């Protein structure tokens, strides 16, 4: 395990300390969330936690949770989630996020918005003064609108690139495509989010604004907790 993964593991386990028996828990997607899933499984096996239902944000997360022995539920059954633990690609000083590097931004946002608390776990390399310094913005689009939305993103200052995998387009769990649009530093994320929401062909975007309740950052000097 490299140093970054060690930091992610420490931060994820810190987040899991906020889970109590009987909770409905949103399970994020990606390497950081996987550390949280493994820790939840350990606590269930030891009896320190019980009666936990996990609501996964992707098919990959669902597979990992089931393999770990965590009971998995559907959002239809459990529409009120107590706490979600997830990662992020970039975090600014307002606790605004860019997410979607793993391709699960639609489910991640739905589950985050259904959660009483959203705990974001990152290593210190994900911190930025402003979003867009380090990461392009993932934009999920319906297949028929791919070219239309690429053109639109160019008109609002983006440099779009369709995400690929194994020689073809990356396909989300919902059967959509992802455009990674680089805007450089995003000076007005609220305005950009509004423009993206107006487009019928855009299913969702990776700007997660006013969603994170807390960000747990792991770095060389230890754990840092960022709250509003």
Q: Among this protein's residues, is 108 annotated catalytic?
A: yes
Exposed e or buried b per residue across 185-217, where buried means at least 16 C-beta atoms within 10 angstroms of its C-beta = ebeebeebbebbeebebbbbbbbbeebbbbbbb
Q: Where in the chain are the domains?
A: 3-128+209-227, 137-203
Q: What is the reported pTM? A: 0.95
Common-topology check for domains 3-128+209-227 and 137-203? no
pLDDT digits (tens, 9 = 90+) for 126-182: 999 999 999 999 999 999 999 999 999 999 999 999 999 988 999 999 999 999 999
Model pLDDT, residue 40: 97
pLDDT digits (tens, 9 = 90+) for 65-84: 999 999 999 999 999 999 99
pLDDT tier for residue 46 given thresholds of 50, 70 and 90: very high
Query: Which one is catalytic: 62, 64, 90, 108?
Result: 108
Model pLDDT, residue 198: 97
CATH: 1.20.1580.10, 3.50.50.60, 3.30.70.260, 3.30.1540.10. Which one for 137-203? Answer: 3.30.70.260
228 pLDDT above the threshold of 80: no
Q: Which of 141, 221, 130 is nearest to 183 (CA)?
A: 130
Q: Which CATH architecture has domain 3-128+209-227?
A: 3-Layer(aba) Sandwich (3.40)
């Amino acid at each position: 395990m490299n140093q970054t993964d060690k930091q992610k593991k420490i931060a994820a386990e810190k987040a899991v300390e906020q889970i109590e028996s009987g909770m409905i828990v949103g399970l994020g997607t990606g390497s950081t969330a996987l550390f949280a899933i493994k820790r939840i499984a350990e606590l269930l096996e030891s009896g320190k936690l019980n009666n936990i239902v996990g609501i996964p944000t992707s098919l990959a997360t669902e597979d990992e949770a089931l393999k770990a022995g965590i009971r998995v539920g559907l959002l239809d059954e459990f529409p009120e989630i107590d706490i979600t633990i997830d990662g992020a690609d970039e975090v600014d000083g307002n606790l605004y996020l860019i997410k979607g590097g793993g391709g699960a931004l639609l489910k991640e946002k739905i589950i985050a918005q259904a959660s009483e608390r959203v705990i974001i776990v990152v290593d210190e390399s994900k911190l930025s003064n402003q979003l867009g310094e380090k990461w392009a913005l993932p934009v999920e689009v319906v297949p028929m609108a791919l070219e239309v939305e690429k053109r639109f993103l160019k008109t609002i200052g983006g440099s779009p690139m369709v995400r690929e995998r194994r020689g073809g387009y990356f396909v989300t769990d919902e059967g959509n495509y992802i455009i990674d649009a680089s805007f450089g530093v995003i000076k007005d994320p609220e305005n950009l989010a509004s423009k993206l929401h107006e487009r019928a062909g855009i299913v969702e975007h990776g700007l997660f604004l006013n969603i994170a309740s807390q960000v747990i950052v792991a770095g060389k000097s230890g754990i840092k907790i960022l709250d509003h």
